[in-house]
Amino acid sequence: MAAAVASRAILAAPAVALSKAQSKRAFFGNIAGLAPVARRAAPVVKTLAVKAEQNYQVIEPLNGDPFVGGLETPVTSAPLVAWFLSNLPGYRTGVNPLLRGVEVGLAHGYLLVGPFVCTGPLRGTEAGPLAGTLGAAALVTILSMCLTVYGIASFKEGAPSTGSTLTLSGRSKEADKLQTADGWASFAGGFFFGGLSGVAWAYILLYVLDLPYYVK
């Protein structure tokens, strides 16, 4: 009798509708980790562009062109330095390349005799002066050959000058004739002649005229 009353009470109880999520939580024991996660709004990232402050650059590309491969510094762009460099034989574009080669060769040949005589293997002997002079002449010959090979490899016959048409201060100038095949050949020939002349002149001053130099 009591069992029948209990069954009728259960059947008479109102049915409770469970949602799908609630039924899953009820089935798995209401685990908190299985609860649906609420969506969060993505954070807004703001970008800030910072522009570098314009400062005066002490070292800049030569004539403002970075493809030249040279830098303009307070030393190289100073008027005194520019005047000194422009008066060197290699940079005097208004002078014939042959004369520039002669001048450079004279200086090199004249200065090479002393070191070869004083530091050569025959120093301190009677043959020392002549051997040192011949060694200096041989070095001048080798340098002249190197200049000739460089000119053949660097410049094409009949091609225009590859020299710059701007000075250090940005003024226009005529392209250097030295930066051509004919100009470089003239420079190498002048260097050879001037170098041998410088060697001969140093030998004459030291051992033919027998001037009272400290080092002989």
State pLDDT tens for residues 164-216: 655 555 666 666 788 888 888 999 999 999 999 999 999 998 888 877 766 55
pLDDT for 17 equals 47
pLDDT for the residue 1: 53
Superfamily for domain range 96-208: Photosystem I PsaL, reaction centre subunit XI (1.20.1240.10)
pTM: 0.61
Q: Residue 216: what pLDDT?
A: 57
Domain ranges of the chain: 56-87, 96-208
Give pLDDT, residue 6. Answer: 52
Quick one: pLDDT at residue 162? 64
Task: Give residue 168's pLDDT.
Answer: 54
- DSSP, residue by residue, the chain: -HHHHHHHHHHHSPPPP--HHHHHHHHTT--GGGSPPPP-PPPPP-----PPP----SSEEGGG-TTS--EE-TTTTSHHHHHHHHTSGGG-TTS-HHHHHHHHHHHHHHHHHHHHHHHSTTTTSTTHHHHHHHHHHHHHHHHHHHHHHHHHHH--TTPPP-S-SB-TTS-B-PPPGGGSHHHHHHHHHHHHHHHHHHHHHHHIIIIIS----S--
Residues of the chain with confidence (pLDDT) below 70:
1-39, 41-42, 45, 47-59, 62-63, 68-69, 160-175, 213-216
